[in-house]
Chains A and B, each alone.
Chain A
Amino acid sequence: MQASSNKDPRELIDEVLRLRHWPQASAMLAELWRQQPVMGNAAYIISRYERMSSELSMTPYRLALLRSFTVEPLVLLLRAAALASGINLSVQVGDFNAYAQEILNPYSNLYKFEPDAVILAIQARDLLPDLWYRFADLSREEVEGAIERTRKYFSEWVETFRYHSKAHLIIHGLEMPLRASAGILDAHCDLSQTEAFRRVNEDVRALARKHQGVYILDYDALIALHGRLRWHDEAKWLTVRLPIAADCLIHLINEWLRFLHPVTGKVCKALVTDLDNTLWGGIVGEDGMSGIQIGPEHPGAAYQSLQRVMLDLYQRGIILAVCSKNNPSDAMEALENHPGMLLRPHHFAALRVNWNDKAQNLREIASELNIGIDALAFVDDSPVEREWVRSQLPVTVIDLPQDPMGYAEALRDSPFFERLTLSDEDRERGRYYAEDRQRAELRDGTASLEDFYRSLQMEIEIASVTPQTLTRVAQLTQKTNQFNLTTRRYTEQQIAEMTASTDWRIYSLRARDRFGDNGLVGVAIARFAGDFCEIDSFLMSCRVIGRTVETAFLSHVAAGALHRGARYLRGWYLPTKKNDLVKDFYESHGFKLIGEPEKGSLWELDLSNGWIGAPEWINCRIEEAITQ
């Protein structure tokens, strides 16, 4: 999926299909839809799924659409969207404005189809044309009469439907007119036009509450969310009876999916969240509890909004868990004591705060919570972590936008936490576990860690300090705590002096990958004395930890030392409260322990017979001056 990104994704998918790798092809089709949910892709995705539907364990589901407007183009999009969510949807569309006959006639095509769910999509103008088009002509009695008649109709339809079918029934609420016929006076009328439609909606809501498996889709709120003027396409309405603009069709599809997810059991039971820069701004291990951003004011407010959404989910019965690369003591201090936090440790059913691979942590969380991996949703600000988890596990990964102000909305937008009732979810649970066993079988044999690194297309650039980078280099020595072997703090002045001396060499590291530029993220300072090169400082920002960038960097420091004529490369590990992460760093790169006085441990690598290989998946650019 990640490799050779220049190629047309469809060519890659067709290649995978030729190789009969069905689950992989299915995942790639879902990804294509996630990235570009457009008409052309819908037709392509459906045609490719049809080739392999018998090979995949998809949830079959039958949906009938009763409608008062053209829905055929929507059906194309809906089927593709459902397939991408693992639902093999058969859709039957009722005749134009024939919904009442379909519901009332026990021998209608509706009941012959034996649907699992029915969507009743009637527009306000079709159901109540008098109220919509000529409200100004009507007396109050006539309006009241229309509302009452409509209430009776709906009541009769729902009761008859329930008598003949056990299917879920999803009823579109009525939308308000773009502008009321009385203009601004509408708000002052005794029984206004908008009030009339609202009363019908209230009646239908009351009806839904009275019956099992009857739900309301708030169509007016959906239109308002995306903008009434943008939503409506008058030309298409008048010519082909499709009232919705091309670019809004997908929003109705996604709203339908919010209902289809819970009725088909495609929901998440638990949400696993990252901490740094997700639940709060900043890195608690670096910035300390007082330095992180979380609270009612900007910039902490965006993170508090996200926590509010999680708290809403928690109240809805979604399990919350934490998966974070952090020192447990730092993370827990913030979770327990930071005054701006809305979420506290007691909200989380499982916590994995360590430096391990997040995919492994998620597996452990699932087994600890005793739920399937695919019942987990995962949210993290890092696109790299998201991609890694997505490539490894059938976890629902929730993408966050770059700007934290959009985090809360991104989470609220996910259909995976929708619930129609709680007992509904309980009913689906048994089937869920059975399907999970099959998924576990598919999971084995997916991409290795190395493939993942390759897919990141990492590039690093190693250079000596320049006047432009001096400030950043000094700043990194001053504030980096976790990936820092010696935690020696230097001022700009000190860095400048070392740069001027021939005994010292300072390397700066920039890193980028296909998700973007991480900027200047690493510093190494080496001191030369005869046969020896001592690594005075070696540090990296947390942003790039765990992607083997450190090995590439160390490899070039070693190569530089050898070039300068050093035979032994030495380095200290000086433990602090924060840098436990790197205590095995030198050992894991082939260094030997040569001394362990109280203050730390001293490690050495004999460059005449030791060598640190640079990972071949990282493309290194070395500034020429540095190899002289």
Chain B
Amino acid sequence: MTKSVLVSVRRIAADLFDVPLEHVLPHSSPATIENWDSLRHLNLVLGLEGEFGVQFSPEEIAKMQTVENIAWLIQNRLARAE
């Protein structure tokens, strides 16, 4: 995975969950970040869609369970778009 995708995902997640960047780690999930509720998850999805210019399918959104997970997903989407 390229570093920049993970970096962007972490930064946007930190912004939208209102936690310090260093608290958002690759394995962070709704279980480890208290503010990661369903409404903020939607904000995250929209924030990432805006940032990377992609639209996720409902199946993809359901799979977004950890930060690393999300970064992989975006990485794949970007690779497919090329």
Contacts and interface: CB of A to CB of B under 8 A. Distances in A.
A44 B15 contact: yes
Nearest to A235: B58
Given A235-B57, A240-B42, A247 B49 contact: yes
A40 B47 contact: yes
Interface in A22-53: 38-41, 43-44, 47
Size range of the interface on B? 20 to 34
B58 A72 contact: no
A558 B61 CA distance: 68
B58 A239 contact: yes
Dominant SS among interface residues on chain B: helix
Contacts of A40: 11-12, 15-16, 47, 51
Contacts of B46: 39, 73, 242, 246, 249
Interface residues of A, number: 21
A96 B50 CA distance: 25
Interface string A211-253: 0000000000000000000000101001110100111010000
Interface string B11-39: 11001101000000000000000000001
Contacts of A47: 18
Nearest to A249: B46
A32 B51 CA distance: 15
Given A38-B50, A240-B42, A246 B15 contact: no
Q: Is the interface of A mostly helix, strand, loop or mixed?
A: helix
Contact of A247 (B12, B53, B57, B58): B53
A76 interface: yes
A38 B51 contact: yes
Contacts of B45: 246
B49 A246 contact: yes
Given A239-B58, A239-B61, A246-B50, A41 B15 contact: yes
23 contacts: A38-B50, A38-B51, A39-B47, A39-B51, A43-B18, A47-B18, A70-B42, A72-B39, A72-B42, A72-B43, A73-B39, A73-B42, A73-B46, A76-B43, A233-B55, A235-B56, A238-B58, A239-B58, A242-B46, A245-B55, A246-B49, A247-B49, A247-B53
Interface of A: 38-41, 43-44, 47, 70, 72-73, 76, 233, 235, 238-240, 242, 245-247, 249
